[in-house]
Every structure is written in C-alpha cells, then in structure tokens.
Chains A and B, each alone.
Chain A
C-alpha cells in the first residue's frame, strides 16, 4: 500500500530536549515536505526537499532542522524544542511534475506538545 508514515504519532516532551520525528514514504517520490498545522493558520511549510541531499526552507523554518540522506526518509529534528513548537506536524511526499501525478500525499500526523 502506498503510504507516508510518521513516528511517533504523539509526543509530549520538555523544553530543550532534542527530538526527532521520522517520516518515510514507499512511493519512490522525489519531493518531501514538512508542515505544521495550527488552529486558524492552516498548514505552513517548514522545510522541503527536492531530492537526496537537497533541502530548502519553507515559510517557518526557525527552530527546525531536516536531512535527506535517503530518498525514502525525511526526518524532522528539533534541537531545542520550545512551547511555541507545540503543534500538529505533517510530512508529505509527491512525485516529479510531468509524471502525471501532482498530488501531495500526507502522513497521518504527529501531535507534539512541548511543556
């Protein structure tokens, strides 16, 4: 089954304790992205990647890091989480334009609470 998986699904942590949220897709997609969702703000892009070792900032990158060492994985790293990073996080993947598929496939989400 084609899917994007994220782990963990729920996480409660304390300020300053480094954490990683993993994202993996099995569709051989080139593009992957991270978004955060906050009430009244929709989804905002944190980082995106167009291929292995190619990443770029989205609209709200401060306080986050990413890496893309393998095509299927795109982890999101919070080196020193703060309470304003409490949010619902989504990973997404999509294929190259021209392949006929323009959809972004979203993972199930990770609800993060930083106290």
Chain B
C-alpha cells in the first residue's frame, strides 16, 4: 500500500522567510502533483512533476522531484500572507494521472 507523508503538517511562518515542505512516498512513481486549497474551496493545481529531477517554479514557490529518494519538496521563498493555504502533494499510482494518493496536507499560515 502506498503511503504519502507530508512534513510538517502545520507551518506557521513570518513574512519574508523561507521554508520547505517535504513529501515522502513509499513506492515507485515518476509523477507527483502539488495542489493548493484555500479554506472552503476546491483544489488548485500548482505543479505537475513528471520525471526524476524535475524542477518547476511559479512565483515564490518551487517544487522538485527525486524519484530515487521518493521525495518531493515544495520550497517557499520570501513568504507573503497570500500564500496562506493548505498544500497537498499527490503521487500518481498508475502513470495515467487518474489514480492519485494524497498526503495529509500542510496547513501554512504566513504571519505579517
């Protein structure tokens, strides 16, 4: 059974600081997704990482994937309040992108 573990589960940080969210998974997969969820809202796709060594950046967020280590990271640079949300990683179980196993989510609060 695939397990996906996110760390930390809750993160409170000051504006302007940097931090990294980690996503470890227990079985082989070449594809990983990162989503953002605002309170009471649906999930918004942030990044799709399709191969080992993939790195993608959008604004203050950068995601990377190391399939050998079964690890993905979401790095936050110079956090701002608008980044406050819950972030989920999801591992693609079958390579088709339609069978995902999610981590428990990381609640991020950025304090001004």
Contact = CB atoms under 8 A, between A and B. Distances in A.
Nearest to A59: B101
B97 interface: yes
Given A43-B88, A102-B31, A109-B42, A97 B104 contact: no
A109 B99 CA distance: 18
Interface residues of B, number: 23
A75 interface: no
Interface of B: 4, 9, 31, 33, 41-43, 45, 48, 50, 88, 90, 95-105
Interface majority SS on B: helix, strand, loop or mixed?
A: loop
Contacts of A35: 102
B88 to A, nearest CB: 6
Contacts of B33: 102-104
A58 B97 CA distance: 13
Contacts of A90: 42-43
Given A33-B98, A42-B102, A44-B102, 15 more contacts: A32-B98, A33-B100, A40-B104, A42-B4, A43-B88, A43-B100, A45-B100, A45-B101, A59-B101, A90-B43, A97-B95, A97-B97, A102-B31, A102-B97, A106-B43
A107 interface: yes
A41 interface: yes
B106 to A, nearest CB: 10
B7 to A, nearest CB: 13
A101 to B, nearest CB: 9
Interface string A25-51: 000000111010000111111001010
A48 B101 CA distance: 12
B97 A48 contact: no
Contact of B98 (A104, A106, A107, A109): A104
Contacts of B4: 42
